Amino acid sequence: MKIGVLVFPGSWSHDDFLWVFREVLRVAAEPVWHKETSVSGFDALVLPGGFAHGDYLRAGAIARFSPVMPAVRRFAEGGGPVLGSCNGFQILCEAGLLPGALLRNDSLQYRCQWVQLRVDNPDTPFTPGAGRGQVLAMPISHGEGRYFADPATLRRMNDRGQIVLRYCTPDGRLTNAANPNGSLGHIAGIVSEGGNVFGLMPHPERAGEPAVGGTDGLLLLRALAGGLAAPAR
Amino acid sequence: MVGSVFEARVYVTLKQGVLDPQGDTVRSALEALGFAGVGDVRIGKFMVLTLNGASRAEAEAQVHAMCRQLLANPVIEDYRFDLADAPASSPSPPPGEGTGEGVRPAPKMRAGGT
């Protein structure tokens, strides 16, 4: 079992992902520079947060053309698990591996805070340890996280259970106050139709140890790690 | 055969139906300044690029392809552009000729700096 963590110029969360995989979950993980053209040897891929290529033009717009991306696409189309967090989510949407797009927060402010997330579909490869309606706490840190998809796409996603996480209050209610960026449907995380590509704006890698304020991120990352790891305590 | 140099002016805006909080904020500010007649403000991007093309039609096709692949995200954005002969390419430039729908020939101006 080995996890590849992609690194673009301007990525900033790759070291946190590598730390959690190696030091907390005790699985092998290696960085993958964006100029690589192969991802063979990896069992799962992570696109981390940051500001790949400066987020020039649009967040993720340039990164989706990085040399590694055709290999990522082949990996995803072959059913391999791919997780994109924050900027990684934006890149996956720009690349068309996930539906929709991420827009400037409705507050026009960069938001760096802990949020609560309701698990609306635990039946994905990434959420085997979660219960339906369970509320998870994780940090967000972004200026462009307002999820958008056209109404027909949103309906299809709802019908197919592609909406996995929604911003909520600590007791699981969907309110505007608990939605930090104005995302349609309070959407924080979605999976592809095939279920093997997962994008979320929150940072599970920053919720991996009690010392950083919480461990709910492990619930998602442990699944990626193949369930081989013992729970961190 | 030598191609021509064209200047494309590309306008990218959020689609109707996509919330534009920047535009809304600017509209409120304009109202506060007493401009009562402003109905809607949409904020977008303006890009100027020069390109070589064998013909105007080829240059237009190139810019359309650029917009679809990179310059605009079709999920959230619309684009349009004008194509004119690049100012430096001919000693006696013809008047700028807008080809975008409903766009008058653009005055010569620089992008960016104030």
With beta carbons under 8 A apart, name residues in chain B contacting A92: none
pLDDT in tens, chain A (233 residues): 899 999 999 999 999 999 999 999 999 999 999 999 999 999 999 999 999 999 999 999 999 999 999 999 999 999 999 999 999 999 999 999 999 999 999 999 999 999 999 999 999 999 988 999 999 999 999 999 999 999 999 999 999 999 999 999 999 999 999 999 999 999 999 999 999 999 999 999 999 999 999 999 999 999 888 743 333 33
Domains of chain B: which residue ranges? Answer: 4-15+44-85
pTM equals 0.88
Q: Is the model more confident about B98 or about A172?
A: A172
Residues of A whose CB is below 8 A from B73: 58, 61, 94, 101
Structure token pair of residue A3: 């996890």
In chain B, residues with a C-beta closer than 8 Å to the C-beta of A107 are 21
Contact B72, A100 (CB under 8 A): no
Q: Report d(CA A54, CA A37) in Å as an integer.
A: 21
For residue A59, give the chain B residue with the closest CA.
B73
Q: Which burial class, exposed, middle or buried, applies to B110 when counting CB atoms under 10 A from its CB (0-12, 13-18, 19+)?
A: exposed
From the list A115, A132, A114, the residue with the least C-alpha distance to A123 is A132
Task: Return the pLDDT at A227.
Answer: 47
Whole-number pLDDT of residue A95 = 97
Alpha helices, DSSP H, located in chain A? 14-19, 69-77, 87-94, 151-159, 217-224
Task: Give residue B3's pLDDT band: very low, low, confident or very high (50, 70, 90).
Answer: confident
Rounded mean pLDDT of chain A? Answer: 95
Q: Place B2 in a pLDDT band, splitting at 50, 70 and 90.
A: low
Residue B88 confidence class, pLDDT cut points 50, 70, 90 = low
Q: What is the pLDDT of residues B10-39, one digit of tens each?
A: 999 999 999 999 999 999 999 999 998 999
**Chain B contact present for A93, CB below 8 A:** yes
Name the residue among A61, A105, A150 with its Cβ closest to that of B70. A61
Q: Of B2, B4, B8, B3, nearest to B97 (Cα)?
A: B8
Radius of gyration, alpha carbons of chain A: 16
Q: Please state, in angstroms and rounded to a whole number, the distance separating the CA atoms of residues A42 and A75.
A: 9
Helix (H, G, I), strand (E, B) or coil at A169: coil
pLDDT tens digits, one per residue of A5-60: 999 999 999 999 999 999 999 999 999 999 999 999 999 999 999 999 999 999 99
Going along chain A from its start, the domains and CATH numbers come out as 2-224 (3.40.50.880)
CATH class for the region spanning B4-15+44-85: alpha beta
Question: DSSP readout, B41-82?
Answer: ---EEEEEEEEEESSHHHHHHHHHHHIIIIIS-TTTEEEEEE
Task: Give pLDDT, residue A9.
Answer: 97
Separation between Cα atoms, residue A202 and residue A87, nearest integer Å = 10
Name the DSSP class of A123: -
